[in-house]
Chains A and B, each alone.
Chain A
Amino acid sequence: MTEPLKVLIVEDEALLAMELESLVEEAGHSVVGWATSSAEARSMVESTDADIAFVDIHLTDGPTGVDVAHYIGEKKRSMVVFMTANPKRIPDHFAGAIGVIAKPYTMNGLTSALRYLQEGMRRPPPVSTRPAGFTLSPAFEAVWAPAA
């Protein structure tokens, strides 16, 4: 059994954060923090030791999710996966993130994405098929899913 993931949730919508937390825990991982703004996210990146952060683009202080991703990328502590209803706002270079889970995701889509990410982070490249609604950044595509 591969080691479970420690997850930081950066999401301004309480309902979605709550449900995401349940799904993450049901899948056997743990949630180490929930931030609703970029400032909160920054301090939680310092105070927690998350393996992976799920980052919404729209936070309580505006479309600051990409900045959060940059910040986490500089700290080199955890990986980032965007989770947004507006994937077009993600810059081409993905601010160093692994990829994006497009909202609205299905329950199975999220569970599969968690499995895929766990495989990719613990024993890359991932072996399970990439779930619908999950897109890899170009940089990770090259490493995790090179064209055969």
Chain B
Amino acid sequence: MDWKRTREPDDAWHMTDDLHVEHGKGDPFAAAIRATRMSMIITDPRRPDNPIVFANEAFLRLTGYERHEVLGKNCRFLQGPKTDKSAVEHIRTAIADNADVSVDILNYRKDGSTFWNALYISPVSNHKGEVQFFFASQLDVSDRKLSEHRMTADKDRFERAVKERTAELEAALEAQTTLLHEVDHRVKNNLQMISSLIIMQRRTIKDEATRHSLTTMLERIEALSTVHRRLYQSKDVSRFDVSDFAKDLVTDLLTASGRSGIEPKLELDPIVISAEKATPVALMVNELVTNALKHAFKEGPDGTTAGRIGIKMSQPDGHFKIEVSDDGVGMAEANGDASFGMRLIKSLARQLHADIEWHDAGPGTKVVISMPNEQQQKRTLS
């Protein structure tokens, strides 16, 4: 072999095809390019329409054409109906600018089948800087493209499924919220009607004892009303702010009693309990505060009563603690167990798993309730 022949004439590539194998055999580079598994062609931009002047075996294998079918032709015969126009445009501009270009383009074989071609084209210039040829290599990347497509398709399908499911869930939540608001609305209206009925009935009653007992009933129902007015006010419908409630309840009971001489003392830490506990806690606090109002304070000689009612709500070591205290007469003379109020308090305490104790506060009474208050799970409805 003639290893010294490293410099070729300008149209050496062209000649290798023209002269068939003999000439190329003498040239190791040409031989390598002929034999490589990488598909390669050379085009001549100085001839009209930049035709192919060399194509290696790999190119012919890849495209399915015979050599005589491709030589002298512009490469565009590789394009077809599904070839991306913008990819073609990209190549065209690069060639017009004598620039490198690398694109993935859908090409067609002779038999009409398609393949994804990772095409790389670069200009080859002579020593004067004039472009003599374009050198192009083609790599069949159909497999990669296919898995890329699959991945995109999978991703799209997955995203669509997630979107659909999210929409479904949002609709379900919306429906649930609407339903909750509707039910809540009805409960509130019905509570309002129940208290209206009691007030109306009470107006017609002359007997003091009966009136008194209707008043107590109204107080209990109004305690429930106060709970429901406060329920579902926060974003999280499963939680109930018991300190806000206690403030409403106590102010309401005190002003309703008309006894301005009784001073409320509120020490309310912001404490949240689960919504199921709201009603029993509210009823219990209502009983204790009304008891203090009713029984603890003796009327003074001037017809007024003076004293102090304290409510403290705190949460030391995860236990919810309520203290209702007064500085009144104390409970030494009370025979509580038979009365309804006491029984109600004790039953509610059992329901809440609460410990309840009455202390002689000297002066007055102090009732201490303590119950477990586990961390609430968040559940949000708007």
Residues of A within 8 A of B (CB): 13, 15-16, 18-19, 22-23, 58, 85-86, 88, 102-109, 112, 129, 131-133
Contacts and interface: CB of A to CB of B under 8 A. Distances in A.
A85 B222 contact: no
Contacts of B203: 22
A48 B26 CA distance: 116
Contact of A18 (B196, B218, B225): B196
Given A15-B197, A132-B247, A103 B256 contact: no
B185 interface: yes
A15 B195 contact: no
Interface stretch (B60-68, B186-194, B334-342): B186-194
A105 B189 CA distance: 10
A107 B222 contact: yes
Contacts of A109: 252
Size class of the B contact interface (CB-based, 8 Å): 20 to 34
Q: Which 10 A-B pairs have the closest CB atoms?
A: A108-B256, A85-B188, A104-B225, A19-B196, A132-B248, A104-B192, A104-B191, A106-B222, A85-B185, A103-B192
Given A16-B193, A106-B195, A129-B251, 5 more contacts: A13-B193, A15-B193, A23-B199, A103-B229, A104-B189
Interface of B: 181, 184-185, 188-189, 191-193, 195-197, 199-200, 203, 218, 222, 225-226, 228-229, 247-249, 251-253, 255-256
B252 A86 contact: no
A16 B249 CA distance: 22
A58 to B, nearest CB: 8
B192 A105 contact: yes
Most buried by B among A88, A132, A133: A132
Nearest to B188: A85
Contacts of A16: 189, 192-193, 196
Contacts of A85: 184-185, 188-189, 192
B222 A133 contact: no
Contact of B199 (A86, A104, A107, A132): A107
Contacts of B256: 106-108
Given A106-B256, A112-B255, A22 B229 contact: no
Contacts of A58: 185
A104 B228 contact: yes
B189 A13 contact: yes
A30 to B, nearest CB: 18
A18 B181 CA distance: 26
Nearest to A86: B185
B63 to A, nearest CB: 70
B181 A88 contact: yes
Contact of A106 (B185, B188, B200, B252): B252
B181 A132 contact: no
A102 B256 CA distance: 18
Contacts of B189: 13, 16, 85, 103-104
Nearest to A133: B229
Given A22-B203, A86-B181, A103-B229, A108 B252 contact: yes
A44 to B, nearest CB: 22
Most buried by B among A15, A18, A22: A15
Contacts of A18: 196, 200
